[in-house]
Every structure is written in C-alpha cells, then in structure tokens.
Amino acid sequence: MSKLLIFVTCLVVVFADDLPTNYEYYTSGGILTGLSADQPYFQLNGKNITIISGAFHYFRVHPMYWRDRLRKIRAAGLNTVETYVPWNLHEPYYGVYDFGSGGSDFEEFLDVAKFVKMAQEEDLFVLLRPGPYICSEWEFGGLPSWLLGIPNLKLRTNDVVYLKHVAQYFHALFTIIAPLQFTNGGPIIAFQVENEYGNTWNHDPDYLRSLVQIFRNNDINELLYTSDPLLDVGDQGALPGELLITANFNKNASGNLNKLNELQSNKSSMAMEYWSGWFDHITENHTDNLVPVERYKSVLEDILKYPASVNIYMFIGSTNWGFTNGAGDGTYGLNNSGLSPSVTSYDYDGPVTEQGQLTAKYNATVELISKYVTVKTRLPEVPETPEAVVYDDVKIQEQILLSEIIDSFPNKIKSPSVMPMEQLSINPNNSGQNFGYIVYRKTHLNLLPNALLKINGYVRDHVLVLLNGKLVNSMLTKLNDLDGFGYWRLLDSTITLTKEPLINATLDLIVENMSRNNFGLINQFQQFKGLIDDVYIDNNTVYNWEIIPLEFKKSWNKNLTGWHNVKDSSFGPALYRVSFNASSPLRDTYINVQDWNMGIAIINGFVLGRIFSVGPQQALYLPAGLLEEGVNEIIIFEHFMAPEYLKFSKEHIWGYGSNIQA
C-alpha cells in the first residue's frame, strides 16, 4: 500500500517537473527584451504572454505571511503579483526614509526589495505601482501628510515644489528598485505612473510627462502605463500614444475593453483593476459590499475570452493597520460633512481572505486559468492555512485616564490659537504630527452658567470635550448620533459646558483624525486635521492653548506608566491594559470589539486598528506575527466606556456593536 502511494506520488511529481517554471519558460536562452504592448497581445522577452496578476499589498500583510500568500497566488496559476508602494509609510517625515530598517513603527512591513525578490523566488513577475498617489482606500491615497504643511503646494499637479518632493522620494525608491527590473534579471515587468488620474478631472498631460521623466531619470526602463475607469473618464488621466492605457472595472468587460481599444488601437488589452469584491466604509452594511462568486467568475471569464490580461484587485485580502485607513466621499476637501472613513479590515471579499483562507473565488480563478491560459507551467502545492485560535476572556483591571496622560504630558506646545496637526513643529524636519489624536487644552477658564462652547466649521473628525477631566459629550448609542455634536457632519457645532458657574476650569478638546480622503477631484486633497477654525465660549474667541499631540507611537505606548485599578463608573476616555500568554506555534486570532464603543486597539505597542461600534467591523484580525511567545499586552483606548472583559474571536464579526441601535 505505502509503496503504491509513493509510486503514484512520484509519477505526479515527474509529470509536474516536466513543465517549465514561469521563469524557465520566459527567460531560458537569456533576456533580450522586456514587456512589449506594441501588438494586440503582450509579449515578454519575445514570447506571447497573458498576464494573470493578483493584487497583494506587502504593507498590508504581516511579512511573516508574505511567502505563504505569494505561493497561494502562484498555486492558483497566476504568473504575476501587483503591488502599490505607499509614499506616506516609506517617507514618514520629510527626508526620512524607511525601506525596512528605518526605525518607524511599520519598519518590518516596509522591505519592498525583499518582497519583490521573494515574488521572484516564488516564480512570479511583478507589476509595481509606485504612485506617487495610489488611492487604494489608503490614508490620503498614500501621500505623506507633511506635504500639507508646505504653503501653497499643489498636490498631484505640475507644481515645482510638489515635483521636487516626488523626485527626491522616487530617487530613494528607484535606487532600490531599478536593479529588480526584468531586463536587469529581476521580476518587475512594468510600472504604473500615477493612479486613476482621470478621476481628478484635472487633465494635465504635462504632469504625467514630468512623472515619466522622473522614472526615466532614475533608470526605470520597463514598460510604463496608466490605469483608469475608462467608461467614466476616457483618456483624461492617460497619455495616449506615449504610455499604455489600461482599464479598471468590475462589470461589462467587453464594454470596458472595447472602450480601451477605441482609445488606443493595436495595443495589448489589460484590465489593471478587475475588482474581485469591495471594501467597507464605516456605517455600511458589510453584506451590501459582497460580490457573489458567480458574478466574479462570469466577468473574469469575459476578460479572458476577450482576450485580455488581468490584474485581480484584490487577490489577497489584507488590513489597514492602525491609522492607515483611507476615506471616501466627494464633498470632503473643504467641507468635512461627507467624510466616510474605510474600516480597518481590507478583506475585500476576494479569492484569499485577510486571514489567508481560500474562498470559492480562488477555485473559480483556478478553473478559468486552466481553461483559457495556454502556456502551461509548473505550479506549487497550495500551502495550508492554520485555523485561528480563541484565547480566554481576560478581565480588565488596569486603566489610565486620558486626562492623567494629558496632565503629565511633557513639553506641551503653546499656541495662541488652535492649529491643525500638520502645522505642529514636531518630528524630524518639522514634519508635523503623523498619526493619532491631538488635544487642545485651555486652563484657568472662568465660566458663566450655561457656558456655550462653539467650534466653527467642521470638526476633523471627532471631538471629545473634557471639563476638569470629566467628559461632557454623551455616549455614542445610535447611528444618528453621528449627526450630532462631536462628529464630522455638523457645521459650527455647539455644546453647553456647565450649568453651574465655574472658576479656574480646565477644558480639553481631544480630536481624532479618522483619516483623509483617498479619492476624488483635484481640490479634495487639501485636508487638514484637528481643529482649523476658531473656538468660542459664549461668543468670545478662546486664545492661548496648550497643544498635546497623541501620536500613539510604539515606543510611547510600551513606555506608558501610571496604570491603576479601573475606577468605578469611569465614563470618559481612558486606556485599558490586559495581558495574555501565547504559546508556540503562534497562531492568528481576532480581538472581539463588539462590547466596546469607539477607539483603537494596540498589540505589543503596535496600533492594530480602530474600534467603532456603529460598524460594520466588530473584530480586528490579529496575525500571529504580531504576537510573542509568552506574555502579550493589549491596550485599548476607549472614548466612552469599557466592558468588563476583553474577548477574542475565531473569525470576523460583522454588524453593529452590542452598544449601538440602528
């Protein structure tokens, strides 16, 4: 019996070994040319190729799983992986770079060269989309927030100061990337220039040409292309005749690809973003954003039949760690009322989940590739995905009130008026505040009965008001509380601070930046955060503030002192700490946040994600790579009221939190 089994296994292996690898097929005999789109089908090194690519963003997946996920892409029969490159993580402060050892909190996620090389080791080609703007439902579309601190700089235009910063960053990035191009023996076969520039409706071919020049000046020699939703914007974001145009869509493949061929005849056709599923904004119903496998499969089949190449976006679900989620909505630029932040999960309902499990869309993809792709190459086995574990509930015993942190915060910044985060003179090269919350404190206030606080304009994006350390806001309990005081939708909001007169009072305005827009018209990229307009008490402007940036950096989170027992009935913003033991082999888990209201969760110092009871996300994926053998520490910053226990979950939980009514 066992002999027979071995025999059968050997047969299979021998058969599979007969097929060339992807690289053997395309590069045996040497590399003479890169990717060409100058005929109605792609050629790589002179051989026909249908690019079947999967989107997988290295910065959204713990590096412990990079190889697992790349192998799952290859095992499905894909020959290419696509990734964006986020400028705001790689240059967190002006002139300060992190490509894997730069010391930022994201350091371990940022070794882009290692990722690209690993893709080659896993027999995949790479499509690289370095921006500078990447959209991607990522905070500010990947633009660094410190750009907003530069007066009059015009983002995503031919503005010389903006282009100077792009050129400096691209020089740093491309120094690492250029050796990894296909014609230099690496895996990168093509680069995208900008991203859906047509959606800005700021038709500016000179800007795109300036970017092309920066690519070429840095020895980027492979094929360059643009990508846009062509049925909406046509060639507004393209350079027809100069750069290959590609199409983004999730339905009507033939309508979209015909449009592509109208805009450029006789070139290779490619869907650069074929959306496999969708993402969630806060307050949305998760089920409304799911895409049935039948629809996914039929449109993918239409693309392959056309025939066209495709990048399945996303192939691998992933995570908007910490404060990195983007936001949507057209009215956002000058008017915050339409803000619609994305949630922490970027699962995307694609072929592979955030936790790495294969879905029915994975199988559908395998089936269609074997049916339509004629070049047969050797594929690896699909790696196993271990199940997640559920740790025991942990009683919450330790607490620090936010007011205690504010009181003891060293080096409070003095300022005559409130100012946005971006304009604080903190961090290297005065880059301003990069993440988190900002507190505006006013001391020695003498208040009349019924003193009225008024915040002019829109709050960016959520404000908690403390008077002598006590929370004045009411608890978030129902969806339409978001239309009331404290949230981004309300213009010129007011709240009564005190019924009784008070002398020598201390007022704190704690403002949470819930993310910047990642999408839209060119004038929607001026997005300051915090308070940008005047604050009044009883019609008098309040001057002379102390400003406290709460960035929640890893070193700071790990160094917090002053933990005490949870105080009874402590309503208001506070940090809660629990620890639990994890043993080897470390496994993924989820933090169940159904019983919490609003805030963030921190694991071993790293900000994992946001908590928002109005949903839809009610569990935060916690990959094994962020755990340690032995004791692990979770801190939750809660704005209103904490439950008694911290709980875990074996899987995602979608819906509203247990404290919220629809």
Ligand X SMILES: *[C@@H]1O[C@H](CO)[C@@H](O)[C@H](O)[C@H]1NC(C)=O
- Which positions touch ligand X (CB under 6 A)? 39, 41, 48, 94-96, 139, 145, 231, 252, 255, 259, 265-266, 285, 287-288, 323-324, 331, 335, 337-338, 359-360, 363, 421-422, 428-429, 432-435, 443-444, 491, 504, 506, 513, 515-516, 529, 538-539, 555-556, 559, 561, 579-581, 631, 655-656
- Tokens standing for residue 453: 């606080």
Strands 244-249 and 270-275: parallel
Closest approach of ligand X to the CB of residue 190, in Å:
19
* Cβ proximity to ligand X, 559 vs 565, nearer residue: 559
DSSP reduced 3-state for 571: coil
- Cα separation, 226 vs 495, in Å, equals 49
CB atoms within 10 A of CB 228: 26
Of all residues in this chain, which one has the CB nearest to ligand X in the complex? 255
Closest separation in Å from C-beta 656 to ligand X: 6
* CB closer to ligand X out of 81 and 507: 507
Catalytic choice (82, 91, 194, 196): 196
What is the layout of strands, in order, in the sheet containing 413-415?
413-415, 545-550, 437-447, 502-512, 462-467, 470-471
Comparing CB distances to ligand X, the nearer of 338 and 380 is: 338
Task: Assess whether 651 carries a catalytic annotation.
Answer: no
Q: Are 426 and 490 in contact (CB under 8 A)?
A: no
Instruction: Characterise 484 by phi-psi region: left (phi > 0), alpha (psi -120 to 50), beta (else).
Output: beta
Q: Which is nearer to ligand X, 96 or 373 (CB)?
A: 96
> For the purposes of burial, counting CB atoms within 10 Å of the CB of 587, is it exposed (0-12), middle (13-18) or buried (19 or more)?
middle
Mark whether 196 is an active-site residue: yes
Compute the residue count for the chain.
Answer: 662
**8 A C-beta contact, residue 211 and residue 165:** no
Instruction: List the beta strands (DSSP E) in 106-212.
Output: 125-129, 188-192
388, amino acid identity: A
What are 316's two structure tokens?
């691998």
Tokens of 571: 């309503």
Q: Which is nearer to ligand X, 23 or 41 (CB)?
A: 41
Give the C-alpha distances (Å, rounded to integers) separating 201 from 148, 351, 470, 625: 21, 33, 47, 42
DSSP codes joined into one string, 524-558: GG----B--S-EEETTEE---EEEEEE---HHHHH
Backbone φ and ψ for 506, nearest 5 degrees, come out as -115, 125
Least distance from ligand X to the Cβ atom of residue 589, Å:
15
Which listed residue (82, 194, 222, 273) is catalytic?
273
- DSSP class of residue 450? T
Give the nearer residue to ligand X in terms of CB position, either 132 or 186: 132
Q: Which is nearer to ligand X, 555 or 565 (CB)?
A: 555
Which of 142/643 has CB closer to ligand X?
A: 142
Structure-token pair, residue 324: 């990195």
Rounded Cα distance, 393 and 566, in Å:
17
Q: In what order do the strands lie in the sheet with 35-36?
A: 35-36, 42-44, 47-49
Q: Is 319 in contact with 280 (CB distance < 8 Å)?
A: no
255 phi/psi in degrees, rounded to 5: -60, -45
| 136 conformational bin, left if phi > 0, alpha if psi -120 to 50, beta if neither | left
- Which residue lies nearer to ligand X by CB, 120 or 264? 264
Shortest spacing between CB 118 and ligand X, in angstroms = 25
Residue 269's region, left for phi above 0, alpha for psi from -120 to 50, else beta, is beta
To ligand X, the closest distance from the beta carbon of 184 in angstroms equals: 25
Q: What is the DSSP letter of 104?
A: S
In the 8-state DSSP scheme, what is residue 264?
A: S
Q: Which residues contact 110 (CB under 8 A, 6 or more apart)?
A: 59, 89, 90, 98, 99, 100, 102, 104
Least distance CB 394 / ligand X (angstroms): 7
Give the shortest CB-182-to-ligand X separation in angstroms: 19
Residue 221 vs 337, nearer CB to ligand X: 337
Rounded to a whole number of angstroms, the minimum distance from the CB of residue 226 to ligand X is: 19
Contacts 24+ apart (CB under 8 A), 112-116: 112/58, 112/85, 112/173, 112/176, 112/177, 113/176, 113/177, 113/180, 114/63, 115/58, 115/63, 115/66, 115/83, 116/177, 116/180, 116/186, 116/187, 116/188
Measured torsion, CA atoms of residues 225, 230, 235, 241, in degrees rounded to the nearest 10: 40
Residues 54 and 110: beta-carbon distance below 8 Å: no
Least distance in Å: CB of 504 to ligand X? 4
Reading the block at residue 139, the tokens are 């905070």
* Residue placing its CB nearer to ligand X in the complex, 157 or 331: 331
**Closer residue to ligand X in complex, CB, 139/347:** 139
Residue 636 contacts residue 574 (beta carbons within 8 Å): no
Task: Sort strands 223-228 and 244-249 into parallel, antiparallel or unpaired.
Answer: parallel
Tell me the closest approach of the beta carbon of residue 206 to ligand X, in angstroms.
26
Structure-block tokens of residue 24 = 């053997």
Active site residues: 196, 273
